[in-house]
Amino acid sequence: PLVPVTFQYASESDAGVPGGPAGYPIPAAAATNPRYIEEEGAAGSNNHLLMIDRDRRIAFELFKAVYANGKWSAGSGAVFKLDSNYRRPEGWTSADAAGLCVTAGLLRYDEVYGTAPIRHALRCSMRQINRFVYPASHKGPADAAGVPLGMRLRLKPSFNISGYPAPMQKIFQAMKTYGLIVADRGGNMYIQGTMDSRWNSNVLNPAFHAL
């Protein structure tokens, strides 16, 4: 069921699916189980809450999602039809600073450890950002030495990835083929994935550090 959400940045948020009814399909359990919220709502977290309507291929994304006094509120919210090249209106934020779809850029365990190659760019953050370029639609803080949101980075095709574990080779090949898109302000070159207890940081972290 669609749940109403009150937004701090209502003028740049979607009340629901554009052209459809208002509301976000927030699971009832999210009101009491903090694991539905990014970093379990820890202080300083962006409190992202991401939902996918798989049948209709729609992503519902909230930034600074909070449940209090029986109601949901958020800093901003964005709805993306995943079978289109939809882009936020110029100047609009989303659930990230760049106005992009968070879900589309996340690494997923099933694609990293599956048989098919990863077929999309990966989202990353940078500590210093300034302005934005396509496909981003929104600017964040104006750091003097910052790079623009939406900037695409690629791993050099000549870089030898054969010595890395097979799952890391898939990730690094995606970084060669599709690249990284700077989507938010945060840790330098911090690449993000979906919440999944099967991720093994003992495999991921040493490979990224070596790269």
Residue 171 to residue 45: CA distance in whole angstroms: 26
pLDDT value of residue 39:
87
pLDDT value of residue 15:
96
Angle, CA of 151, 171 and 88, to the nearest 5° = 35
pLDDT value of residue 140:
87
Residue 112 to residue 46: CA distance in whole angstroms: 25
* Token pair for 166: 């097979």
Nearest to 122 by CA among 80, 155, 97: 155
pLDDT value of residue 43:
86
Residue 42 to residue 70: CA distance in whole angstroms: 20
pLDDT value of residue 107:
97
pLDDT value of residue 141:
87
Task: Measure the CA dihedral 157/162/164/168, to 10°.
Answer: 50
pLDDT value of residue 45:
87
pLDDT value of residue 105:
96
Residue 146 to residue 143: CA distance in whole angstroms: 5
Please, are residues 183 and 122 in contact by the beta-carbon 8 Å criterion?
A: no
Residue 181 to residue 106: CA distance in whole angstroms: 11
pLDDT beneath 50, residues of the chain: none
